[in-house]
Structure 1
Amino acid sequence: MARILIATDAWHPQVSGVVRTLETTAQLLRAWGHAVEVIEPSAFPSVPTPFYPEIPLCVMRTGRVYERILRFRPDNVHISTEGPIGFWVRRFCRRVGWRFNTSYHTRFPEYLKQLARVPEGVTYRFLKWFHGASSCMMVATPSLEKELFSRGFRSPIRRWSRGVDVGTFRPRAGTATNYPRPVLLYVGRVSHEKGIDDFLKLNTPGTKLVVGDGPARAELERTYPEAVFLGYRKGEALGEVYSAADLFVFPSRTDTFGIVVIEALASGLPVAAYPVTGPMDIITRDELGALDTDLGRAVQRALVNGNPAACREEGARYTWERCTQQFLDNLVPIR
Structure 2
Amino acid sequence: MKLLIASDAWHPQVNGVVRSLEQMVRRAPEHGFEMALLSVADFRSLPLPGYTEIRLALAGRDRVAARWAKERPSHVHIATEGPIGFAARRHCLAHGLPFTTSYHTRFPEYLAARLPVPEAWSYAYLRRFHGAARGTMVSTPTLQAELEARGFTHLMRWTRGVDTERFRPAAPGEPPPAELAQLPRPLFLYVGRLAVEKNLSAFLSLDLPGTKVVVGDGPDRARLQALAPEARFLGTRTGAALASVYAACDAFVFPSLTDTFGIVLLEAMACGLPIAAFPVPGPNDVLSGTRVGILDHDLRAAALAALRLSRAECRQEALRRGWDVSADQFFGNIIEAHGGERGTRNAA
- Give the shorter-chain TM-score range: over 0.9
Where 1:213 maps in the other structure, the secondary structure is coil
Query: What letter corresponds to residue 117 of structure 2 in structure 1?
Result: V
1:222 aligns with 2:221: no
Distance (Å, rounded) in 1 between the aligned partners of 2:193 and 2:314: 24
Q: Which residue of 2 aligns with 1:319?
A: 322
Match of 1:233 among 233, 237, 243: 237
Task: Please give the residue correspondences for 1:36-185 in structure 2 after superposition, counting only pairs within 5 Å.
Answer: 36-154=35-153, 156-172=154-170, 173-174=172-173, 175-176=175-176, 177-185=181-189
2:59·2:87 contact (CA, 8 Å) conserved in 1?
no
- Across the two proteins, how many residue pairs are aligned to each other? 332
**Deviation at 1:285?**
4.4
Distance (Å, rounded) in 1 between the aligned partners of 2:70 and 2:148: 36
Query: What letter corresponds to residue 333 of structure 2 in structure 1?
Result: N
The percent identity for this pair of structures is 50
**Deviation at 1:201?**
0.4
Worse-matched range after superposition: 71-80 or 243-252: 71-80
Query: What letter corresponds to residue 167 of structure 1 in structure 2?
Result: E
Task: Map Cα deviations across residues 198-242 of structure 1 (whole Å, 9 max, x no partner).
Answer: 110000101100001111212222221110000111111111100
Distance (Å, rounded) in 1 between the aligned partners of 2:17 and 2:186: 30
Task: Map Cα deviations across residues 91-126 of structure 1 (whole Å, 9 max, x no partner).
Answer: 111111111100000110000000122111110000
Q: Which residue of 2 aligns with 1:264?
A: 268
1:8·1:79 contact (CA, 8 Å) conserved in 2?
yes
Distance (Å, rounded) in 2 between the aligned partners of 1:284 and 1:277: 10
1:66·1:89 contact (CA, 8 Å) conserved in 2?
no
**Deviation at 1:34?**
2.1
Task: Map Cα deviations across residues 300-328 of structure 1 (whole Å, 9 max, x no partner).
Answer: 22223x11111101112111122112111
Where 1:287 maps in the other structure, the secondary structure is coil
**Deviation at 1:74?**
1.3
Q: Which residue of 2 aligns with 1:3?
A: 2
**Deviation at 1:31?**
5.6
**Deviation at 1:26?**
0.7
2:113·2:196 contact (CA, 8 Å) conserved in 1?
no
Distance (Å, rounded) in 2 between the aligned partners of 1:31 and 1:63: 33
Contiguous gaps of at least 5 residues in structure 1: none
1:243 aligns with 2:247: yes
Query: What letter corresponds to residue 29 of structure 1 in structure 2?
Result: A
**Deviation at 1:86?**
0.7
Distance (Å, rounded) in 2 between the aligned partners of 1:60 and 1:325: 31
**Deviation at 1:286?**
6.2
Query: Structure 1 length normalisation: TM-score?
Result: 0.95
1:328 aligns with 2:326: no
Task: Map Cα deviations across residues 106-156 of structure 1 (whole Å, 9 max, x no partner).
Answer: 1100000001221111100000000001111001111111111111112x1
1:93·1:99 contact (CA, 8 Å) conserved in 2?
yes
1:99·1:135 contact (CA, 8 Å) conserved in 2?
yes
Match of 1:188 among 192, 204, 209: 192
Where 1:5 maps in the other structure, the secondary structure is strand
2:164·2:319 contact (CA, 8 Å) conserved in 1?
yes
Distance (Å, rounded) in 2 between the aligned partners of 1:69 and 1:274: 44
Where 2:54 maps in the other structure, the secondary structure is strand
**Deviation at 1:259?**
0.5
Query: What letter corresponds to residue 198 of structure 1 in structure 2?
Result: A
**Deviation at 1:70?**
2.6
